[in-house]
A and B are shown apart, each in its own frame.
Chain A
Amino acid sequence: MNKKMKIEAMWIIGVLVVLAAAAGLNVYTTGLPAFSIATKETSGTHINPSNHVIEVQGEQWAWVFTKENSTGIHTCTDSLTIHVNTTYTLVVSSTKGSHKLAVIHDLYIAQFDIQVYAVPGQNNTVTFTPIHTGTFIFECVEYCGYDHYIMRGYLTVVK
């Protein structure tokens, strides 16, 4: 093995070590309790909106959140108020609103590390637990037509 090949082998081994570490970290972080990735709801297991289950419907061009508690069903558009230290499940889908067809949207809550596609005819679920109070932003990050940019709002976490 000449010097040239030695340098090259060292380089490749170094890269492989870094990659193995990155892949290990990748698997490790997916096991953390705060981690939640969008998962398709299998048919027959649909959960209706309740205190901890929020139904989210994306339409052109607004997000509609539906919650249900002791005082009845609450619907709000482009804004959401939730309680701190409570685990919530978002059930996200897409509706056609006043248009002919429903399109794909993508709900993104940057500070909670939550992102989930709103796909027509499919419910995607994701869970999260807010641990700080305050006002946070959410946005649609999958292009969905003319007024895509106004499909955004504020999420308020209260005590």
Chain B
Amino acid sequence: MSVTTTLIEISVIMSIMFAILFFMYYKYLTGKTEADVLADENNYYDYGSYLRENKRKGGFLSTNNFILNDSKSIGMRYIMTALTFFFIAGSFGLLMRVSLIQPNPTLFSGREVLYDVLTTEHATLMIYMWALGGAMGIAYYLLPSFLKVKADKYGSISSTAYWIYLLGGVFILLSRTSTRWYFYPPLALQLNPYGAGAYNWLAVIGLEMIFIGITIAAIVVVRMIILDRGENVPLTKMPLFAWSVLFTLLMFLASAPFLMSALVMLFYDFFNPIFFTGVAGASSPLSFTELFWIWGHPIVYIAILPEFGLIYEIIPKFTGKKIFSYTSGVIGLALLMPLSELVWGHHLLNSGFGLQWGLFFSTASFLVVIPSAITIFNYIASLWSADKIRLSTPMLFVVNGIFDFIIGGITGVMQAMLVVNIQVHGTYWVTGHFHFIFMGITTGIIFASVYMLWPTITRGRKYDQHLATWHFTLTAIGSFVMSMGWTVGGFLGMPRFVSGYFARFQVYQDIAIAGGVIIGIGQLFFLANLIKSLLDEPSTTTNNAFEDEYTGDENEVGSNEPEPLKNPTAVGGE
């Protein structure tokens, strides 16, 4: 077969493909124009919201979420993506945990690199796809009704941002990188299975894409909060969740450029190692670690701030009273934003920067406690002053989250002290510290919100209370056991991110494995609940408890005591 024949075949195939693509685009455009006209006639600002509200389309597992471009559909997309990646990364976590049952590698014996890959993927995907994506999804879903937005004009931009973000996550998954979520350079530049993994460059591209996607989405959401609020929602009476999202995204926009530029330099290093190699003439690898942690510390607040805001929204639904103090709630969230940007150096206390550096950053780290304490006080006071608290599943997650956050916060203050930091830096203590917070606040509150949104997500089904209670109980107990095993073992010197360890640490590892397995079993109850709901017939309206307060009447937001829930059964009430 000659070259000419091949070329002709290729061009024919390409012409046919273009014809098909053009036809699809034509059909899409016609349908969109018709829907636009219809939406315009019915006073809707875009066809997505029109279709969502009038045709009862676009629920959970509906492809419409991925085609329609209104904020609610995009929110659902992010939530579905986050849940999917939660289960992927969670099973990675479970697998690597079980592989640590013996001091010497057993499950991955001779293939220890598999452990490194699983751990890196677990951390990276959990942070960027679950914590960040889940918060982004709930923000996109709730804010339009919380703020009664006038116009939702940036759907196509948000949609583009979502696809860039999703592709970035998939790239990280495909890259099988084993460089730890830090991407510390001389190791990240070793493109072989013994270093960072052969396809680490793909992970760098993927991470950069996640940043680009979330940056675009952050600008859209910040614009929605500041400029597109309804006339009767003044800034000073905005729901606390909107405040928390605003602060989170401003924090993101302020700190992300540091790592974005560092990643570009790292990518250049793959071809021409001049930036972070540490050889004579190049800059020190520590310069990358500085750039990384200027971003890397705010990310851990980005993962909890929206959830703090969600707790403020959830508590009144179950106590029937307003939150204890709106003003100190806003102050607490607002202070976290600048203070968390000041403390990143505490991740590098032992790198040779010396005593003065250490004292500055450890003192700054103490200051972060103040806004956290204000916030926690506000929660406890709200619960304290309530006449009656209904302990349904979302509320149980909230109470457990507050409990876990107190433990995680205290261990955090302890490790900010220089003398303790030398003892616990790089050990499982740190892993325990942030899993207390990430399991209690991030994961717990996103799940609480999913339960609150259940009738909407599943198009009119209630969740099974028994399964939900089991899900909560196992998640809470499992994460406590796991994190406690790590915290105690880490204090005695158990290093983290190792596929084998000294035999003296086996008891702590085994406790943590037990906890991890309990968490894993707990998540199966969530899946069972989801499947059960989808098999059931619809039994309630598609309203959810989050938005009840904000739909319908023309009252100013926040001016009244919250009303009793319109359909209490939807959130698992009596």
Contact = CB atoms under 8 A, between A and B. Distances in A.
Interface of A: 4, 7-8, 11-12, 15-16, 19, 22-23, 25-27, 29-30, 32, 35, 37-40, 60, 94, 99-104, 106, 108, 110-111, 113-117, 119-122, 124, 137, 139-150, 152
Name the 7 nearest CB pairs between A and B, nearest first.
Answer: A110-B493, A141-B426, A120-B278, A149-B498, A124-B352, A40-B352, A146-B194
Q: Report the interface size class on chain B.
A: 35 or more
Contacts, number: 194
Contact of B502 (A104, A115, A152): A152
A26 B189 contact: no
Interface in B338-375: 349-355, 358-359, 362-363, 366-367, 369-370, 373-374
B419 A113 contact: yes
B425 interface: yes
Nearest to B384: A7
A8 B425 contact: no
B278 A142 contact: no
Nearest to B189: A101
A143 B187 contact: yes
Contacts of B354: 37-40
A99 B362 CA distance: 36
B289 to A, nearest CB: 8
Contacts of B416: 26
B190 A124 contact: no
B279 interface: yes
Interface SS majority for chain A: mixed
A37 B422 contact: yes
B36 interface: no
B498 A116 contact: no
Contact of A4 (B286, B325, B492): B325
A26 B418 contact: yes
A59 to B, nearest CB: 12
B186 to A, nearest CB: 4
B418 A30 contact: yes
A6 B280 CA distance: 60
B570 to A, nearest CB: 32
A114 B421 CA distance: 10
A143 B116 contact: yes
A119 B278 contact: yes
B29 interface: no
B230 interface: no
Given A37-B355, A113-B419, A23 B373 contact: no
Contacts of A141: 425-427, 495-496
A96 B514 CA distance: 39
A111 B170 CA distance: 42
A23 B363 contact: yes
A117 B180 CA distance: 17
B109 interface: no
A148 B498 contact: yes
B141 interface: no
